[in-house]
Structure 1
Amino acid sequence: MNEIVAIGVGIGAGLAVLAGAAILSWYVFKPNKIAPSRPALSPIAILFKDQIVIDSTSAASSVLERPILNGASWAEIRSELLVQFPDIPEKTQSGSSCFNAENDPDTTLTLRVNDTTMRLEIKCQPITANQAFEYRRQQSRNQRLQAAIETSPNPIWEMDGHGAVIWQNPAYERICADTGNKLGADCPFELAPPTTNVPTSSRVSLPCKDGSRRWYEVSSKPYNYGWMHFACSIDNLVEAEMAQRNFVQTLTKTFAHLPIGLAVFDRERQLVLFNPALVDLTHLPVDFLSSKPNLLSFFDHMRENRMMPEPKNYPTWREKLSNVISAAREDRYCETWTLPSGLTYKITGRPHPDGAVAFLIEDISAEISLTRRFRSELELTQSVIDCFGDSVAVFSRLGVLTFSNTTYREQWKCDPDSAFAEITIVDATKDWQDACHPCPIWPDLRDYVLTMRDRSAWSADLRLKDGETLTCYIEPVAAGATMVRFSNRIAKPVARDISQTTAV
């Protein structure tokens, strides 16, 4: 690219640098003499035979920065001159034609074609001392640009309007060597032909000789009558994207077998991941979920499907949804939804990296039903035991009081529900011993409750300090527990008058 820039500057300013240097030298070294008239410039001329250079002046070689022009083709010379003379034709015609330099009407290029020979001549006005200094500054700047382009690790190349590469930097040449492409042949970067004169960007992969592939992001910008392309390696980015895609696929396969619905929203609150259980639990269409709806749209559709409780004030609830998101990001969101269908869902919010939020939807209807049934059975059992006239207390295999009826609580002035600590068999026997006359059964009773061996039921008579006599029944029950029952009377069967029974 430095060659193109240098030619543009050289033709515009350096065509008469020798004259400018002469003028500058005159003023610097002979200030007391009258300034001479403008010296004659060395002619810039090139002679072609059958479109090939056969002779040229030294000034032409200097301007084009090519020590030897002989043997160069008209196409090569024209491509370098197009920077300053964009109107020169690709195919020349017999006769004489003149072209003005772009943005410099004082510089002209003349073509004289006679049969198979052609003479190219460039004329321009001499430059001043200031222009000479500016030319030197431009040369220094161009050298820096050339060094930057040649040492750049990113491939840069220029293509004409027909898609042919007309210039490239060393990084592009190394890419051609690595991929087995010859310079001047087809471009190794397969780019779609531009349809508009607008800068574009595309991702391209290159196959290498070792079988691997390199990925590049190619930025294309219109330049002159063609395009300038800049490629940047994105191998690490592509590998990271592939790793992320594989990770998401692994998560999807893992979550596909979970009964809990999963919905992951990114930091922009777009749905980026869901599993089949979410479809089953929410009854939301797969195409809707695949369209990556936002969080509000997701809950709106759940509400329309009656898969969430109807809020008393839905617009206000939507405004409060930001609080739900904040709570989920802080791992504080957990709700239980009772749906109109009778199902019960547990909704939990969990924070994810990079501001993402995951919602877990779990059907706990069976668990809630089991809990309610178990609670109902406990209440029924408690009500039945409370109807007994005997005092009943049940201790676990660890000796902790787990169950007692109303008679027991009233008789022994004990309320396990209001106690801060668990009541053990040691605590209970101490209360019983304090209320009774001395009896040797208490150590045996404690050992019986805490033993792990096979046990058989037994009983003992007790006499309270108020004179009442009790019979203590100790019986093993399920799960290694022990039931202790205190009875103050012997139950008698009730006689039934069969004469009053109606015959069937």
Structure 2
Amino acid sequence: MVIDWALAFMMLLVSILAAVAGLFTIAALDPQTQRGPRSIFADTAGGTSFLFDGETLLDATPAARALISQSPIRGPAWLRLRSYLGARFADFESRFANLAEEGLLILTSCDTNGTPILLRAELAGGLTRISLEDPEAQATAPNHDALTRKATEDELSRLRNTLALAPMPVWRERPDGQLLWANAAYLHRVADGLPPGQDLTWPLPRLFERTTDQPGTALRHRLVQQGQPDKWFELHAYQDDAEQLVFALPADTLVMAEASLRDFTQTLVKTFAHLPIGLAIFDRQRQLVLFNPALLDLSGLQPDFLSMRPTLFAFLDAMRDRDMIPEPKDYRTWRRQMVALEQAASSGLFEETWSLPSGLTYKVVGRPHPNGALALLIEDISTEIGRIRRYRADLELSQAVVDSVDQALAVFSPASALVMANAAYCRLWGHDPASTVSEGSFATLCAHWQGRSAPNPFWAEAESFAAAHDTDSAPLHGEARLLDGRLVECRISALPGGATLARFEIATRIEDATGAMATERLRA
């Protein structure tokens, strides 16, 4: 009995081992297992199909993966496929947006340089399946990946056309300088420099000297060809394995702009050099970046100090040490004034007149410049201030001389405005020109004179005389009786340039006028 149980157990163990061995043998002989993990597509005939969950790629056929790998765009698979389909199916974006409602979408590509492609998109179970088919290629070669080949050929054709139509010369060269390839723009440049009747030969002649051995750096070259205007190019060389790929970018506009800027800068430097006004320009860090020779004379500073690019406050401190800035009562107040100067100049509001201890007078103007810079202009106006002071002194002397005259005098400009009157005039007519400047016209003052005297037609004649501006006419004489009884002799004369002089002289004193008026009342 014991022997029977042992025999049964041995038979069972042998059967299990035989079954396991059989399973391993079947798995080893299965061709699907040898190819790796099975795809969710049961498409044994190949094809180009994608399976997406939203924008996440779940699976794709080998042809589909090869197709999106050809895309020049880097990013998720959906982005690369979308760029491929959007370029070939005109209404793909709008139609695909309605896929959730329609459930099935079938489109035909708009290619004009080949057979159309059929797009089939369907939404089922929350997953989107997109299939692409080339009907003609499927009919002739059902197992051949025509779409990937077509995408590669299209990409190659576009790259060739892009380089052919590029307006800049592009070429490849070996380390020894021999040209391997050149685009159409390079060939046209070479052909333009050939003598008449000569054709292009290989190897192609070089248009430019050897480029730098450091790839990525730009070198500027001038292309000189017989019978052609000189052209400037910037050469950008990039290492590609053992070869160099060189791009020649046109630089004529840049060279002309730099030359114009250089000429303009030289003109400014020459102008600043002859400018009598001291100019100091500080950058946004308030360091001196530009000054002219006049600043040396006006500031009393040495060229070596200014060449060290001092700050604005160091510049003002140095001027203060040389008594070229008005001295305040204390240094702290002076520093506050300099900070206010910098702030006001930055906003374009600073303008002051400095009276120096040496007797000189400076006009200092601060102006903001682009990018936070600051320009300080220092002008010596001592001569102008002296001239103004002398002019004022002359005016005061002239006024004093006129005030010493007993006759009442009033001078009117060609525009009939009162420009001068002496003290006798103010006492006679009770009119102060300094306090009533707006009422200084001849017509207004005629009304004033008439109001302080007895009615007299002389004032109308005087107004007409002054309005005529006739320098050749004889002076107008007349008399006026003031309200206090005094008799005034009036004389209106025309001066050169259209000015008018009015002179008034008292003919009867107030005592005599009072006696004469009393006598007349007794007679009456």
Q: TM-score, normalised by structure 2?
A: 0.53
Q: CA deviation at 1:309?
A: 5.0
Selected match of 1:190 from 209, 213, 222: 209
Letter in 2 for 1:200: T
Selected match of 2:186 from 168, 172, 178: 172
Greater share of helix residues, 1 or 2? 2
Q: CA deviation at 1:362?
A: 4.1
Cα contact 2:278–2:293 (8 A) shared by 1: yes
User: Paired residue for 1:364?
Assistant: 381
The reply on whether 1:423 has 2:437 as its aligned counterpart is no
Q: Secondary structure at the match of 1:417?
A: coil
Structure-2 change in CA distance of 1:294 and 1:378 (3 Å): same
Cα contact 1:396–1:482 (8 A) shared by 2: no
Larger Rg: 2
Selected match of 1:156 from 164, 170, 177: 170
Letter in 2 for 1:187: R
Cα contact 1:461–1:472 (8 A) shared by 2: yes
Q: Return the alpha-carbon distance in structure 1 between the equivalents of residues 428 and 374 of structure 2.
A: 57
Q: Return the alpha-carbon distance in structure 2 between the equivalents of residues 191 and 299 of structure 1.
A: 53
Q: CA deviation at 1:372?
A: 1.4
Residues 257-336 of structure 1 mapped to structure 2, 5 A cutoff: 259-260=276-277, 281=298, 309=326, 312-314=333-335, 317-318=338-339, 321-327=342-348, 334-336=351-353
Letter in 1 for 2:392: R
User: Paired residue for 1:206?
Assistant: 223
Indicate the percent of aligned positions where both proteins have the same amino acid: 37
Cα contact 2:471–2:494 (8 A) shared by 1: no
Selected match of 1:466 from 457, 473, 484: 484
Structure-2 change in CA distance of 1:239 and 1:288 (3 Å): farther
Letter in 2 for 1:189: F
Q: CA deviation at 1:219?
A: 2.0
Q: CA deviation at 1:132?
A: 12
The reply on whether 1:381 has 2:381 as its aligned counterpart is no
Q: Return the alpha-carbon distance in structure 1 between the equivalents of residues 308 and 225 of structure 2.
A: 37
Structure-2 change in CA distance of 1:208 and 1:293 (3 Å): farther
Is the deviation greater in 361-370 or in 380-389?
380-389
Deviations 1:158-208 (A, max 9, x none): 3444444444333333333334497646632235643xx563122221113
Structure-2 change in CA distance of 1:293 and 1:422 (3 Å): farther
Q: Return the alpha-carbon distance in structure 2 between the equivalents of residues 298 and 130 of structure 1.
A: 82
Cα contact 1:158–1:166 (8 A) shared by 2: yes
For structure 2, the residue ranges without an aligned partner over 5 or more in a row are 1-42, 47-142, 195-199, 510-524
Structure-2 change in CA distance of 1:223 and 1:350 (3 Å): same
User: Paired residue for 1:109?
Assistant: none
Q: Return the alpha-carbon distance in structure 2 between the equivalents of residues 302 and 423 of structure 1.
A: 48
User: Paired residue for 1:482?
Assistant: 501
Structure-2 change in CA distance of 1:355 and 1:247 (3 Å): farther
Deviations 1:46-86 (A, max 9, x none): xxxxxxxxxxxxxxxxxxxxxxxxxxxxxxxxxxxxxxxxx
CA RMSD of aligned residues (A): 4.8
The reply on whether 1:343 has 2:364 as its aligned counterpart is no
Q: Return the alpha-carbon distance in structure 2 between the equivalents of residues 287 and 150 of structure 1.
A: 58
Letter in 2 for 1:157: W
Deviations 1:214-266 (A, max 9, x none): 11122233443454322211222222333344445556666766655567789
Deviations 1:285-305 (A, max 9, x none): 778889999878877776677
Structure-2 change in CA distance of 1:134 and 1:462 (3 Å): closer
Cα contact 2:473–2:494 (8 A) shared by 1: yes
Count of equivalent residues: 360
User: Paired residue for 2:108?
Assistant: none
Cα contact 2:284–2:372 (8 A) shared by 1: yes
Q: CA deviation at 1:483?
A: 4.2
Q: Return the alpha-carbon distance in structure 1 between the equivalents of residues 229 and 305 of structure 2.
A: 38
Letter in 1 for 2:454: H
Q: Secondary structure at the match of 1:418?
A: coil
The reply on whether 1:236 has 2:250 as its aligned counterpart is no
Q: Return the alpha-carbon distance in structure 2 between the equivalents of residues 229 and 288 of structure 1.
A: 48
Selected match of 1:218 from 217, 235, 238: 235
Structure-2 change in CA distance of 1:350 and 1:470 (3 Å): same
Deviations 1:82-109 (A, max 9, x none): xxxxxxxxxxxxxxxxxxxxxxxxxxxx
Q: Return the alpha-carbon distance in structure 1 between the equivalents of residues 285 and 228 of structure 2.
A: 39
Letter in 1 for 2:192: D
Cα contact 1:252–1:274 (8 A) shared by 2: no
Cα contact 1:449–1:482 (8 A) shared by 2: no
